Amino acid sequence: MKLLVNQIFENKEAAALPGLLESGGLPALVSGLSAVHRANLAAGLRLKTGAPLFVLCPDDTTAENFANDLRSMLGEEVTCLGMRDFTFYSTEAASRQAEQKRLAALFTLAEGRSAVTVASIPGLLQRTIPPETLRRAAFEIDAGGSYPIEDVEAALLRCGYLRTTQVEGPGQFSRRGGILDFFSPAYPQPVRVEFWGDDVDSMGFFDPESQRRTQPLESCHILPAAETLPPLYPGGSAALGEKLQKLADRTAAKKDNDTAQKLAEALRADGEKLCNDCVLPAADRYMGFVYDAFATALDYLAPETAVLIDQPARCAERAKEYTAQLREDIALLVRSGTMAARAENFYEPFSDMMRRVQAWPIVLADGLQ
């Protein structure tokens, strides 16, 4: 590993980077590097400066490969932040695996526990839960602590967890008397907490297939199960439901517009679900209502972070493709009367993101010409 780092820093351009980082002389461009050498450059920056590192790649596949290279080179954990599909359709079968992986990555960043993070362009541009809201929504349970089990259940529901008879995947929880099972996106296995009254008697991971305990835990974090959480709207889900009902009434007043009538029906149906404390699978439609502040993963970066942009031209191209597709998808939903929102409510324009990222020291690493 040290040999590889020394080799890449024999290049005059690369050798100057640590000094430029300390002196505020960045941004800088290093070109003519293969994929493995771009990863090696990032690893070298991390080792030589000790600063937290944030790498931005064109797409999820490139980001995963870059993260794997960095794990091998650095021998430390690397957080990977990819994109997710917004849930705009009312379907119970939507997979939230990518979304919950994102939440785990975002929480690690929010807590300052990610020394190295690799993100894709779509993953960075997508709107997400604001950092302070995520910190407030997440909570911790300690072995030996005291927590009314009903309060923990209520917190799980606020965080978007689904009550099931048996926990099988992230974002689910179940209760049998004083035994509470839940699968937090923070961990690869679900957690079982056994209460004696309000006191935590024991806590540990368990295998969802065999239901057997696998490893004890001293503490665990419960993270939100979704990025859009209607219970976090001021006044809760019911207040949001009432807002949608009023919006439905105003929309329905446009009697000569078929699209408006369909939209009114959709708003009214979603509003009724929220007023009745039902789970709203298509909650992403109302992300702009739930959160006043617009936030992306860029808002989670610490000030001392060094940023490396991998293949900047490809990043710009991928940003253009992703935002064009998202605008097209949302325009179709708006024309069908499914939702009323502008595509710009769900992503940050690439040009705006690039202006904001200049607050951090930047190295641009380009490929072979």
**The two structure tokens encoding residue 108:** 């690690």
In tens, the pLDDT along 153-178 reads 989 988 989 899 999 888 899 999 99
What does the DSSP assignment read for 176-197?
A: ETTEEEE--TTSSS-EEEEEET
How far apart CA 154 and CA 227 sit, in angstroms, is 18
pLDDT value for 208: 87
Q: Nearest-CA neighbor of 173 among 152, 195, 187, 188? A: 152
Residue 313 CA to residue 250 CA, distance in Å, equals 45
- Rg of the chain over CA atoms, in angstroms? 23
Give the whole-angstrom CA distance, residue 251 versus residue 260.
6
Residues 6+ apart with CB under 8 A from 3: none
Residues of the chain with pLDDT under 50: 1-3, 25
Q: Write down the pLDDT at residue 123.
A: 98
Residue 39 φ then ψ, to 5°: -65, -40
- If residue 57 lies in a helix (H) or strand (E), which one and from where to where? strand 53-57
How high is the pLDDT of residue 194?
94
Structure tokens at 107: 């929480």
Q: Where are the alpha helices (DSSP H) in the chain?
A: 2-8, 12-15, 17-23, 35-49, 60-74, 97-110, 121-125, 131-137, 149-158, 236-252, 258-275, 287-290, 312-335, 350-357
Q: What is the pLDDT of residue 257?
A: 81
Residue 164: burial class (beta carbons within 10 Å; 0-12, 13-18, 19+):
middle
pLDDT at 12: 55
Closest by alpha carbon to 60, among 122, 125, 117?
122
Which tokens in the block code for residue 303? 């000030």
Helix (H, G, I), strand (E, B) or coil at 204: strand
Q: What is the DSSP string of 253-288?
A: T-TT-HHHHHHHHHHHHHHHHHHTT---TTGGGGHH
pLDDT at 2: 46
Which H/E stretch holds residue 162?
Answer: strand 162-163
CA-to-CA distance for 105 and 113, rounded, in angstroms?
10
- Specify the amino acid at residue 302: A
Single pTM value for the model: 0.89
The pLDDT value recorded for residue 22 is 59
Residue 168 pLDDT: 87
